[in-house]
Amino acid sequence: MVRVLNVYTISAFAALGGLLFGFEISSMSAVLGTDQYKNFYGNPLGARQGAITSAMAAGSLVGALCSSFLADRLSRKVAIQFGAILWCIGSALQSVSTGVRMLILGRIVAGLCIGLTTTIVPIYQSEIAPRKIRGRVVSLQYVAMTWGNLIQYFIQYGCSFLDSQAAFRLPWAIQSIPAILLFIGLFWFPFSPRWLASQNRWDETLQVLAFLRTPSCDINDPLVIAEYREIEDQIRTERQDGLHSFHELFGKKMIKRLYIAMAIQAWSQLGGINFLLYFIVYILGSAGIANTLLASSILYIVGLTATVPVMLWTDRWGRRSSLLFGAVSIAFWLYLSGGLFARFGEPNPVPNQAFTWVINNHPAAGRSIQVCLYLATASYAMSWAPVSWIYPPEIVPLRIRAKAVALATATNWAINFGLGFAIPVLFREINWRIFFIFGSLDMAAFIFVFLQVPETKQRTLEEMDEVFEHGEPPWRTGTHKSRLDDLAKEIERGRLET
């Protein structure tokens, strides 16, 4: 009989933090096209709508920067619970907002939660997961994001038919429900074994590892003991070196890993996906699609469906291959969309709209752009979306993991904030050319990954020093075998003292 509480169920529940992120992405998409929202908030366009949209990212940036302190001091689990409280406060402020300023304040407070959870949840998942399925487990974070996108979008789509302010107030209030469940449920979940080890709670570390790795919670299982020894050896080595964590973070040995972690998060945002997810209603309207809300919902269904291969590929195909494939494919669909807009579009004759370039009397071109947007989203969902959350927690040691991932996630949100503010303005000013800008950035991301990013699949968190210090070029990595199985065999044969 399969135990109900295991690595998968624990990680899936913790991924409710990712569900909140998905809610955040969709929290503006469906309401942008409703008359109720436009009438109450004064039809915000350009920079004003950019300020509303990017407020969440601004709060997330601050939350990410604060996350390492909370994660190291309070534990990964308690820090996530603290974030859930902030989300409920932010949701309440948004749902009762009396104007743009209060709406922005609510989105900033909710953003503090997103910054915390998007940083700490992948750390928690990676630290409890076995090496062979770590990518699959951490990818649950993104799967939850796509579910959040879809659920919140359809809630808002349904509420858009209400002829009152409830069209936008009700969805913003409902989004607090998963945060309440996350806060309460985590009381029954284990602490991260690696965080327990960092606090010298060694008996608990062994017990939690046994609980996570064996059906019978056997603390004498050779693989449990082998992993325990690897954790113990790494922490002992870190303490013998005597480095202050911030000094080590920016030291010669770790600066490249920090740079790669931050760069991957940066490229994941610069590739144009937020342009599609946040402003899909504007893009489809510009392409001449009639029912933009219904057409937009298909985008979120495609994104969710595309996560299925992620669960199968991530630990087999690898992180590096996924990023390379994603960069090229997303660029192709964006280039094609931009070309169709340029060929069949014309200046928008209607003033005071969010877009200044439209496709009229060319339904085939509009539908082709719609398909390209769906395929670009699917390509992102199968590559950069999960890997950008899997990779940063993997590549840095326990002592500086929370701080490094916090800086990487802060990079994500800093760029997210800038894009959220700038895209409405750029889309009005340069219209179809914005597709070529993002497509070119995707190709730059391809070059970066090919030259800088090594493969980490199937290796334990404690083996990343070997991955990054073996001296081989990144395109030759991924063939080395983990030593954990050999260590377990030595323990089982009695050749190593335990």
Domains and CATH numbers, the chain: 7-189+243-458 (1.20.1250.20)
Alpha-carbon span 479 to 458, nearest angstrom: 10
- Asked if residues 93 and 106 have their Cβ atoms less than 8 Å apart, the reply is yes
Q: Write down how long the chain is.
A: 498
User: Inter-axis angle of helices 140-159 and 384-395, to 10 degrees?
Assistant: 140
Model pLDDT, residue 204: 93
- The burial of 426, by beta-carbon neighbours within 10 Å (0-12 exposed, 13-18 middle, 19 or more buried), is given as middle
What rounded mean pLDDT belongs to the chain?
A: 85
Does the structure show a pLDDT above 70 at 299?
A: yes
Does the structure show a pLDDT above 80 at 491?
A: no
**Where do we find the tokens 């997303």?**
330
User: Residues near 30 by Cβ (< 8 Å), separated by ≥ 6?
Assistant: 152, 153, 156, 157, 160, 171, 281, 293, 296
Supply angle C-alpha 412, 418, 419, rounded to 5. 85
Please give the model's pTM, rounded to 2 decimal places: 0.84
Structure token digits, residue 132: 């062979």
Does the structure show a pLDDT above 80 at 85?
A: yes
Name the DSSP class of 4. Answer: S
User: Residues near 272 by Cβ (< 8 Å), separated by ≥ 6?
Assistant: 330, 334, 376, 435, 438, 439, 441, 442
Task: Give percent above pLDDT 90 in the chain.
Answer: 30
User: Residues near 69 by Cβ (< 8 Å), separated by ≥ 6?
Assistant: none
Does the structure show a pLDDT above 50 at 68?
A: yes
Highest mean pLDDT: which of 37-51, 137-151, 214-228, 328-342? 328-342
Nearest to 421 by CA among 51, 107, 102: 51
Model pLDDT, residue 2: 53
